[in-house]
Amino acid sequence: MAKKYFGTDGIRGKVGEYPITADFMLKLGWATGRVFAREGSGFVLVGKDTRISGYMFESALEAGLSAAGVDTRMLGPMPTPGIAYLTRTLRARAGIVISASHNPYYDNGIKFFSVDGAKLPDEVEHQIEQYLDAPITTVESAKLGKVKRISDAAGRYIEFCKATVPPHLDFKGMRIVIDCANGATYHIAPHVFSEVGAEVVTIGAEPDGLNINDECGATKPEYLAAKVLEYRADLGIALDGDGDRVIMIDHKGEIVDGDELIYIIAKSRLDEGKLLGPVVGTLMSNLGMEHALNALNLQLLRAKVGDRYVMEMLTENNGMLGGEGSGHIICLDKTTTGDGIVAALQVLAEMQRTGKSLHDLKSGMKKYPQVLVNVRTEKKVKIEEIDSIKKAVEAVEKKLGDKGRVLLRSSGTEPLVRVMVEGVDEDDVTRYANQLAADVKKAIAA
């Protein structure tokens, strides 16, 4: 059954536009409380990133949960994977994340984690939606939920991150520039990497509620690349606003994306005899990663775009490593969800283990030119039902033959159609992608 409010990654949209409003968040808190109150006593964690609307929404959620008779533990600004970790280790009934991840400050959203630190199952999201369409009620005063703040949340998560690499590894002598995207990792990431011995230069760590992801972080790694060269650093680490994505920069200022990082971690686990199951990417994963993994006799499975689907495929196939080119990387041998800090630590550990630079480690994978063009729409459209778009795609696929791919998909979080073309020749790929984007825009307008 289709969901009314939940998308592929929770509920997300523009602040002030339904459902990203204070009254809806009050109702969402109550609906969530009603679902989890049925499971007995306990509490729900609520954390957020640094965008200004987080203050409004955490208060609304807190009120709704209290009305449903559920206790709340407030975390304040915390990375999404940190909230997943704390939900699991504090034995909370659920974790609620107030974040729009890599989106600008004027967007916001809600994500949930279950007691085991994983995304909520579909059936639980359906149960929450049923309550969202019911009248709100309040438990008697003696049963109202109480609220406390967890003061040591950041320290707990910092220690967890450090524990994902062997304690004997010494990162002294390594200079790292970290871009926190003015987001939820601003008070976490610098401590993690300095406490494992690295010399840390921090940028993008002065959030003001409005500058999250603003020309910085994993969605704009060019800023970090310039800083890596300026500080003559060994590498750079760019996180996104909620800390579940990572893009890295090598000492030459070259961007190392999620596909390349997955390849590096996969080869590291393989060399150490610790890799289990296939590697899982998505329909957008670069063909070069697939070929590089095949050369190691490793299988790449492609899930639908979204870390939720990567996780599902990993679970179904007993895998432990997967992710997306955008920087969502899931290391199930270390944690339960995509974690930018943890993934970066695994790459640093491989650098120390092999004595190789990040530039050298990524050289085993040759990326195919891949061009992505976003076509903005007024509303979501079913592109697979438009004949003119089908014909345009078929024409490009015929030109590429077996040396490239075409992928069109509607975004799960924004009113966009994403047009991707991949092939050997960058000029051809760019031309085909732009032409397809124009064809899609014309077809949708018609």
Pick the catalytic residue from 53, 66, 99, 101. 101
Query: Which residues participate in the annotated binding site for Mg(2+)?
Result: 101, 240, 242, 244
Q: Which residue, 326, 346, 351, 355, is CA-closest to 161?
A: 346
pLDDT at 33 over 80: yes
The 3 state secondary structure assigned to 89-114 is HCCCCEEEEECCCCCCCCEEEEEEEC
Mind listing the pLDDT tens digit for each residue in 273-287? 999 999 999 998 998
Mind listing the pLDDT tens digit for each residue in 222-259? 999 999 999 999 999 999 999 999 999 999 999 999 99
User: Is 101 part of the annotated catalytic residue set?
Assistant: yes
What's 370-445's CATH class?
alpha beta
Q: What is the mean pLDDT of residues 95-108?
A: 97
Of the options 1.20.140.10, 3.40.120.10, 3.10.20.740, 3.30.1280.10, the CATH number for the domain spanning 257-341+350-367:
3.40.120.10
Answer yes or no: CATH 3.40.120.10 is held by domain 172-254: yes
β-pair type (43-48, 94-98): parallel
* CATH numeric code, 11-152: 3.40.120.10
Q: What is the mean pLDDT of residues 265-279?
A: 97
Q: How confident is the model at residue 413 (pLDDT cuts 50, 70, 90)?
A: low
pLDDT at 415 over 90: no
Cα(101)–Cα(244) distance, integer angstroms: 8
In the chain, list all ranges with CATH 3.40.120.10.
11-152, 172-254, 257-341+350-367
Quickly count: other Cβ atoms within 10 Å of residue 441's Cβ.
16
Mind listing the pLDDT tens digit for each residue in 391-405? 999 999 999 887 888
Longest CA span, the chain = 70
Q: How confident is the model at residue 384 (pLDDT cuts 50, 70, 90)?
A: confident
In the chain, list all ranges with CATH 3.30.310.50.
370-445
How many CA atoms lie within 13 Å of 102's alpha carbon, on the beta-carbon side?
21
Mind listing the pLDDT tens digit for each residue in 130-144? 999 999 999 999 999
Cα(269)–Cα(332) distance, integer angstroms: 12
